[in-house]
Amino acid sequence: MTQFMMELDEDQRGIRDWIHGFAVDVMRPAAAEWDEREEFPWPVVQEAAKIGLYSLDFYAQQFFDPTGLGVPMTLEELFWGDAGLGLAIAGTGLAAIGVLTNGTEEQVGTWVPQMYGDAADVKVAAFCSSEPDAGSDVSAMRTRAVYDEAKDEWVINGTKTWATNGGIANVHVVVAVVDPELGSRGHASFIVPPGTPGLSQGQKFKKHGIRASHTAEVVLDGVRVPGHCLLGGKEKLDERLARARERAAGERGAGSPNAAMATFEASRPAVGAQAVGIARAAYEVALDYAKTRVQFGRPIIDNQGIAFQLADMRTRVDAARLLVWRASWMATAGRPFTAAEGSMSKLFAGETAKTVTAQAMQILGGNGYTREYPVERMHRDAAIYTIFEGTSEIQRLVIARTISGMPIR
């Protein structure tokens, strides 16, 4: 078993530096423009595809890195470049994880390549779980999938919201209710292939931050998908539902995670790595500014009030990274999250990004509040990291339940 490492090896450092170069040369010069345009940055994603940075092969290589550090290293560098552009490049990964987590080998081999396309024809994918009345409360999900046995098809109806790449994706992964009586245990995930009738984009959201990333509603009106588009297959689903019905007679709510939660649990350290990248970027801008900004005849970093803030910022960034790396290594090594370490990493990194970007704005003073400097954009981008893929409050609830064994509400 690979030991937990606190530093990257030579090959990993080479990959990190390569991604960092892309962030410096391509992402940062384009970041402000795409933030203002609030459009999906196809040209930037295509540039990433041309060099192999946006590709199934690259992400598979990082996903199967035996140290567990490939994915967090990649995401930290991309989001150091810019969060909106980073999410445009990385957003497909959540749908891919949904298939890797719940799908068969054949489904992984069939659908994941179609999520990325190639350098000549770039594609994206969307994971659709949240609904207008079902965000953190996945048991309130209303999107329904009904099996048509005569045609071996699933018929899906409902509306999804907050879907990254929703409506513009080539492949959509949709979580739906298959047995309403089982609550959150009666969910399953489905592939909706490209061009399937009945799927359409609803409202596109105008957001506070990560504005280069496309976020929209996805409307499913009589969508029919073949039986083989049920992730994991019907036999596995029937077995899982039967076990859930047996448990329902005893303690309701026990058992293994549902389809949406399995995906989120696997992705939380990766989201934490994104937040680390944003926080690190803001800290570096603030440090450079404090060393060069002169007031009262000396650099402002000479003042303890500024210097101590920067010390705290760097400490939090490094601590957040270590929590993310630990959770990523544990997941790769097959170590159970006995203290909800995945949620810990996302909670602390998300709160760190929000705090550190606010401190960076404060250190830059009036300049930090203007769009001439990037920290105001970083602060807007960071705000979502205490909200999406489980709010900070939900992460604390998960951690508290895990460490106590109690049904805390």
Residue whose entry in the numeric block shows the structure tokens 């993310």: 324
CA atoms within 13 A on the CB side of 258: 23
Task: Tell me how far apart the alpha carbons of residues 313 and 409 are, in angstroms, rounded to a whole number.
Answer: 32
CA 50 to chain centre: 23
Cα–Cα dist 86/280, whole Å: 14
Q: What is the dihedral of CA 312, 318, 324, 326, to 10 degrees?
A: -120
d(C-alpha 4, C-alpha 14), whole Å: 20
- How many residues are listed for the chain in this entry? 409
Beta bridge partners of 157: 144
Burial letters 307-342, b for 16+ CB under 10 A, else e: eebbeebbebbeebbebbbbbbbbbbeeeebeebbb
| Closest-CA residue to 260 (of 406, 143, 102, 369) | 102
What is the distance between the alpha carbons of residues 328 and 320, in angstroms, rounded to a whole number? 12
Q: What DSSP assignment string belongs to 188-219?
A: EEEEE-TT-TTEEEEEEP--SS-TTS-EEEEE
User: Look-up: residue for tokens 């030579």?
Assistant: 10
Distance of CA 167 to the CA centre of its chain: 18
Residues annotated as catalytic (active site), given as ranges: 389
